[in-house]
Amino acid sequence: MAHQDHQVAEMVSEDVNDERRLYECARKYETIVRQFDELVGLMNNGTSMPKWPKSRRGNASGGRTSVSTSQPNNNEALVQTVTRFLHELRVNPTDLSAHEAHKVNKQ
């Protein structure tokens, strides 16, 4: 009888662990979807991916066309956003509620 009780306890423990992992995956999925929406919004609001200038053959000066000064700022904003997203995904699930509460209090 004790052996059966032990097996039942193991099955319950596995079910609890499965539920916890499923919850963690769902939270990460929600975070990724939110981040993707934010990134798309960032790109639609005038921050576009860099378009590399085409070199011109026969250019007398031999130089390339200049890149606009706003492009480095846009690239920097994109890098900062993606870096923040990666840090958010690295947050432990137990820290996630504290992290979310900190974000709400910060606003």
pLDDT digit string, tens, across residues 62-105: 445 444 555 667 788 888 888 888 888 886 555 555 555 555 45
What H or E segment, with its residue span, contains residue 105?
Answer: helix 93-106
Domain region containing 97: 2-45+70-106
Which residues make Cβ contacts (< 8 Å) with residue 96, sequence separation at least 6?
A: 27
Range in 13-22, 35-44, 51-60, 78-87 the model is least confident about: 51-60
φ, ψ (nearest 5 deg) of residue 2: -65, -35
Which residues make Cβ contacts (< 8 Å) with residue 27, sequence separation at least 6?
A: 93, 96
Higher pLDDT, 31 or 2: 31
9 in a domain, yes or no? Answer: yes
96 in a domain, yes or no? Answer: yes
Whether the per-residue pLDDT at 26 is higher than 90: the answer is yes
Per the structure, the count of domains in the chain is 1
pTM of the model: 0.46
85 in a domain, yes or no? Answer: yes
